[in-house]
Amino acid sequence: MTAAAKPETLGFQTEARQILHLMIHSIYSNKEIFLRELISNASDACDKLRFEALNAPELHENDSNPGIRISIDEDAGTITLADNGIGMSRDEVIDNLGTIARSGTAKFLENLSGDQKKDAQLIGQFGVGFYSSFIVADRVVVETRRAGLAPDQAVRWSCAGEAEYQLEAISKGERGTTITLHLKEEEKEFANAWRLRTIIKKYSDHIMIPISMVKPAPAKAEEGAEQEVEWEVVNKASALWTRPRSDISDEDYKAFYQHVSHDFRDPLVWSHNRVEGKYDYTSLLYIPSEPPFDLYQRDTPRGVKLYVQRTFIMDDAEQFLPLYLRFVKGVIDSSDLPLNVSRELLQNSPAVSSIRSALTKRVLDMLEKMATDNPEDYKTFWAAFGSVLKEGMAEDFANREKIAELLRFTSTAADKDQKISLADYVARIKPSQDKIHYLIADSYEAAINSPYLEIFRKHGIEVLLLTDRIDEWLMSHLTEFQGVQLRNIAKGELDLGELEDDKSDGKSDDPEQDKADTSELTEKIAGILGDKVEGVRISRRLTDSPACLVVGEHELGVQMRRILEAAGQPVPDSKPVLEINPDHPLLSKFSDGGDSAIEDLAWVVYRQALILSGDDLDNPGEFIRQLNRLLIA
């Protein structure tokens, strides 16, 4: 494509326009982040150049020292940021600065809270960094030339409003990108060297590319004497992870986290290690405190930043951690990989798989330590990433036990907002108890009020209340913990063996006797419900409720069936057993009603049990009519 000779006016894509509107009109706090965003882009551009030049050294042209230069013109009220990174071609300018390709941006817009501070924090996280220039500028000019293109293949992009921008072919000697911000009248204070240095120190000290500014002229400069412009580097410009731990402050670690993660909240913990052995590498891994918006999108970029001997190789090297640890952010710097390593190569590298198992273990240890030393932090972690960690039970066979120890659940023995571990449960298990009991429900309220709990409550046996929508799936991968079996209390015949020596339930000791007394009733109800149920039997679970539905021990519960349905997979046909509590007054009504009342009664008992099982009511209209007939009678 040839560059247009005359300036051309192009329109922004809708989302880009929305973001611009937000930047121009709505960000009132934390305005200084624009500089961090632009520096981060410039640093990425230098990294990209270095990486592409590994295979095409000519891209360095005549200058292989990456750098960012920031200058100001106080009188004109402008800030100029120049990098000698990869630059952009005309098409890239249109793609990158005129549209927002990522689906994430729509999410960003949805996530806006109206709270300026929070929204400003979202900007970086959602990668709308460049547009943050418009927080402080009312006109932005970008001049750029992609490395390797001829000087006259450069482009000027300029924009002074929300709707459109101008593109123009220009000539530019140095490769890379120069961005000039024409500050808004009320933001002119940013055109101040001291102010900018402070902001750079605050946010960008750890950027590995040197950021230079003009050295302040000596105070006693002679009047009228020509001053040679001297640049000086204002950031540390060294790889943080290569410094000894003792030299790095918590603030440094946190600032670096923000740089690698684009998350501007503090991380919960980090772990910085240099490993020397079969493979030599340094890792710096962080656990964030809150989930990103796209944690559950499987194609979301994940993984760590990969460096080989301090040379940036790629973002999102996902081969170094398993999928269920995708929330971990950080850096890995290896000495055992070639500089031209590709994603394909990473996949088959023994070094990578060895580092991956070590990092996995490191993260799990970090979590375990947090759980022991800082339970409050662990609670935050669990709320943010617990559901993702659960995936590890299926994904990582080798670390199953470790992961199981990290799981947290609500329980009948704890408050609603308190979560316990399986080890807590096992520690309080009754001497006669041989199982860890759990119940799956849609919510804590549904669980704690569930009839399935009645007999356990009566005997003072703790039951875990599992309310995450993947918990039934999780439990299919967790059948035992510390040698104790786990059991879903809503499935199969209830084995009360462990309670046998406690006869306080007032029922006869002989289940056969119970059966004989009530077989007429169960048969009657079974006859009415027909093929809705597998059968009807007397319940050992219930003390207060009239009935509940129970599926076979190895059959799918409501949650699993929903998961399969949502995935468009066939759901095996299975029918529940209706368990009834003959001591309940509603059941005694069966002996004194007429035929039609008995039929309504049977259906109402069944459909109530259906609702309580967490399943959808099969025929709500019919249910209401049956119930109303009984109420009126």
Enumerate binding residues for ligand ADP (CB under 6 A).
37, 41-42, 45, 83, 85-88, 96, 127-131, 177
Query: String of b and e for 195-226 (b: at least 16 CB within 10 Å)?
Result: ebbebbeebbbbbbbbbbbeeeeeeeeeeeee
Nearer to ligand ADP, 66 or 330 (CB): 66
Nearer to ligand ADP, 40 or 539 (CB): 40
Shortest distance, position 12 Cβ to ligand ADP, whole Å: 12
Shortest distance, position 564 Cβ to ligand ADP, whole Å: 37
Quick one: which H or E segment has residue 390? helix 375-390
Q: How far is CA 469 from the centre of its chain?
A: 16
Residues 6 or more apart in contact with residue 585 via CB below 8 angstroms = none
Nearer to ligand ADP, 265 or 362 (CB): 265
Helix ranges restricted to H, 56-147? 90-98, 104-111, 116-125, 133-136
Shortest distance, position 54 Cβ to ligand ADP, whole Å: 18
Query: Mind giving me the DSSP string for 183-221?
Result: E-GGGGGGS-HHHHHHHHHHHHTT-SS-EEEEPPPPTTP
Shortest distance, position 87 Cβ to ligand ADP, whole Å: 6
Give the whole-angstrom CA distance, residue 570 versus residue 559: 14
Shortest distance, position 262 Cβ to ligand ADP, whole Å: 7
Nearer to ligand ADP, 88 or 306 (CB): 88
Nearer to ligand ADP, 131 or 452 (CB): 131
Nearest to 84 by CA among 36, 147, 152, 13: 147
Nearer to ligand ADP, 98 or 552 (CB): 98
Shortest distance, position 316 Cβ to ligand ADP, whole Å: 12
Nearer to ligand ADP, 136 or 612 (CB): 136
Give the whole-angstrom CA distance, residue 171 versus residue 192: 29
Shortest distance, position 135 Cβ to ligand ADP, whole Å: 13
Shortest distance, position 284 Cβ to ligand ADP, whole Å: 21
Task: Give the relative orientation of helices 116-125 and 33-55 as an angle to the nearest 10 degrees.
Answer: 0
Shortest distance, position 91 Cβ to ligand ADP, whole Å: 12
Give the whole-angstrom CA distance, residue 119 versus residue 109: 9
* Half-sphere exposure of residue 355: CA atoms within 13 angstroms, side-chain side: 32
Shortest distance, position 550 Cβ to ligand ADP, whole Å: 52
The residue type found at 96 is N
Nearer to ligand ADP, 96 or 311 (CB): 96
Give the whole-angstrom CA distance, residue 27 versus residue 29: 6
Nearest to 249 by CA among 289, 288, 292, 201: 201
Shortest distance, position 235 Cβ to ligand ADP, whole Å: 16
Nearer to ligand ADP, 120 or 547 (CB): 120
Residues 6 or more apart in contact with residue 465 via CB below 8 angstroms = 409, 410, 411, 412, 438, 439, 441, 444, 447, 448
Give the whole-angstrom CA distance, residue 277 versus residue 281: 9
Nearer to ligand ADP, 288 or 322 (CB): 288
Nearer to ligand ADP, 209 or 359 (CB): 209
Helix ranges restricted to H, 210-349? 250-261, 343-347
Nearest to 179 by CA among 153, 157, 147: 157
Nearer to ligand ADP, 145 or 607 (CB): 145
Shortest distance, position 19 Cβ to ligand ADP, whole Å: 9
Mapped onto helix, strand or coil, the DSSP state of residue 229 is coil
Residue 551: CB atoms within 10 Å: 20
Q: Are 382 and 344 in contact (CB under 8 A)?
A: no
Mapped onto helix, strand or coil, the DSSP state of residue 362 is helix
* Token output for 136: 């402080």
